[in-house]
Structure formats: C-alpha cells, structure tokens
Structure 1
Amino acid sequence: MKHLLLTMALAIALPGLAMAVTPLSYSTAGGAPVQAGEVEVSARFARATLPNAPVGGAYMTITNKGAEDDRLLGATTPLGPVTLHAMEMSGSAMTMRPLPDGVPLPAGQTVTLSPSGTHVMISPLTSALVQGETLDLTLEFEKAGAVTMTFDILALNARTHPEAEPQ
C-alpha cells in the first residue's frame, strides 16, 4: 500500500514524468504474510515436480481483512499459463473443474487453497519446479489489484507450508 501511495504522490507532484503502473512485488519467503489492499496472503508454496511433468500447482492461505468481499481472479507466472481449479469428490471419484469466475473471498474470512482442493494450476510448465527454489507468481484480485509474490517450492508430497502448521 505504501508503494501505491508513493507512486500516486509522485504522479501528482511530477505530472510530466511518465510512470508505468506495475503490480507490487514482494520477495519475502513464502510463509511470511503479504498484504495486498485488504487481502493478506500467507503460507504460500508450490509442490516440486518431476523433470518433465507438464503441470504444477500453487497453494496459499488468503484472508480478506476488509469489510467488502473480494475475489481472486487469476494469476500469472513466467513458467506457463495459469488457471484456477477446484477438486472435489463426485461419488467415489475425485473431479477437477476450472473456476473461470475466480475464487470468492468473503469479507472477514479466510480461504485456503490446498492440494486436493481449490488451487492454482500452471499448465503446461516451461520448466520443472525444483524443491528448495522459489516461484514468482502474480495474483490478480478484483479489488486488491495485482501483487507479485514469492512461493517456496516444497517437496512433491507437501500438504501445507511449514509456517502454517501448528507449533
């Protein structure tokens, strides 16, 4: 928010200065919370993939601290096209469906994107997600805007970010 206010102040003070508007960017570790408007994103991680795997997933906890609903509309990464998906049981089979309208973020509530649930899918991947490295992902929110943040790449079978687990 401070970056946005500074950009706006400079634009007003120096109207002749051409400034490109870009998403805010954070390089903090995936578990550290990042604020985007009234939305806080924490416990960010992706799962490592095998070398030629065509698909990767990213997961996080999103808390809408505002008084109004927001929505995660989508995401982008240099590693390939991104879509939002939900996995759910249908009878005895797990099914996956795209979420073209995004993920609702009700005011004052927390939404968790997790393996075998709602998640960010990167497909096809341009390169493998390697455990111990990081993934930069830009999230686009309906009201909070765009924010680029770092996701830790954890083990193939990771279920949560270590900083999200109870101590």
Structure 2
Amino acid sequence: MLKTLLLLAVLLPACFADAHDYAKGNLAIAHPWSKELPPNAPTVAAYFVIQNSGSDDDRLMGADSPIAGAAQLHEHVSKDGLMKMQQVQTVSVPAGGTVTFAPMAYHVMLLDVKDRSRLTEGLTFPLNLHFEKAGDVTVQVMVQKQPPDASTSHTH
C-alpha cells in the first residue's frame, strides 16, 4: 500500500503537467487558450496548435462551444495590402505537419457569446473540435490576459 501511494505521489505532478494537451488518433492539440476580453466584446477567439503525427492528412471541419451561439473557423489573409479576417470552411492538417491557430493566423471565432462568466483569466471553457478522420475532440480553453510565451505555446 505504501509503495502504491509513493508511486502516485511521484506520478501525479506529471499528469498535471500535460493536463492542457489533448490527443485523439494521430492528432495532438496543445494548449488551447483565449485572451481575456472586455465585458462588452462581441466575440472571442480560441487558439491552439494541432500536430498530426500520422501518415494521412486530416481536416478540421468545424467547432462549437456551449458558451457561444455559433463558432466559425477563420484565418487572417493579406488583401490589397491590408490584413483581413475571413471565414474558411475547413482547415487542412497535413500528415506529419503542424497547424498553428494564433492571433493574426487561423483561429476559432466564437459568436453570440452566451456565458461571459467563463471568460475571466484563469477559468476555462469547453470547445468541441470536429475532425474529418479523427472525429470529435473536446478541449478546455484556458482564458489568459496575455498570449502564452514560447515555453508553453508548443509551436513547432
């Protein structure tokens, strides 16, 4: 019994260290986060990194969250010398590749936010990601005042 308790005491911190990373099939989703916004902000964006360790491409088909009426996949593109945000229907996740959802890049835009109480620094909210091959993955999005630094962003 004592050996089991000691083993649990040693392993428990390791479990929490990766508590903000998610996996399904060949996909790994690292550090989902959202920036804390003023109470009157009409929308909120969610960011994360998807890594595909498999030999087949996958595709993010969409997302939803119980805190919002709708969720859309967006990207920033340069048009006529200006950066503009536009909705995309899907995001390809190439085999052996990484796709970063970050400010001024791909992101999940949550519209018609219904539960603003979850958008305070240190709290989380659920985000359901729908992949063509891997299926559905629910992640907990951490609300932060600042974007994560390089040591926690898991970008590759």
Fold equivalence (TM over 0.5): yes
Say if 1:37 and 1:165 are closer, same or farther in 2 by CA, change over 3 A. Answer: closer
Q: How does 1:18-167 map to 2 (within 5 A)?
A: 32-80=20-68, 81-100=70-89, 102-128=90-116, 129-155=119-145, 157-158=146-147, 163-164=152-153
Q: Which runs of 4+ in 1 moved over 4 A?
A: 28-31, 159-162
Higher strand share: 2
Q: How many Å separate the matches in 2 of 1:117 and 1:36?
A: 23
Say if 1:56 and 1:160 are closer, same or farther in 2 by CA, change over 3 A. Answer: farther
The structural deviation recorded for 1:103 is 0.5
Where do 5+ consecutive residues of structure 2 fail to align? 1-15
Q: CA RMSD in A?
A: 2.2
Residue 31 of structure 2 contacts residue 154 of structure 2 at CA under 8 Å; is this kept in 1? Answer: no
The structural deviation recorded for 1:33 is 2.0
Residue 29 of structure 1 contacts residue 150 of structure 1 at CA under 8 Å; is this kept in 2? Answer: no
Residue 51 of structure 1 contacts residue 127 of structure 1 at CA under 8 Å; is this kept in 2? Answer: no
How many equivalent pairs are there?
137
The structural deviation recorded for 1:158 is 2.2
Instruction: Please list the CA deviations of residues 63-83 of structure 1 after superposition, one character each: whole Å capped at 9, or x if unmatched.
Output: 011110000111110111100
Identity among equivalent pairs (%): 33
Q: How many Å separate the matches in 1 of 2:153 and 2:136?
A: 23
Q: How many Å separate the matches in 2 of 1:78 and 1:98?
A: 20
The residue type equivalent to 2:83 in the other structure is: M
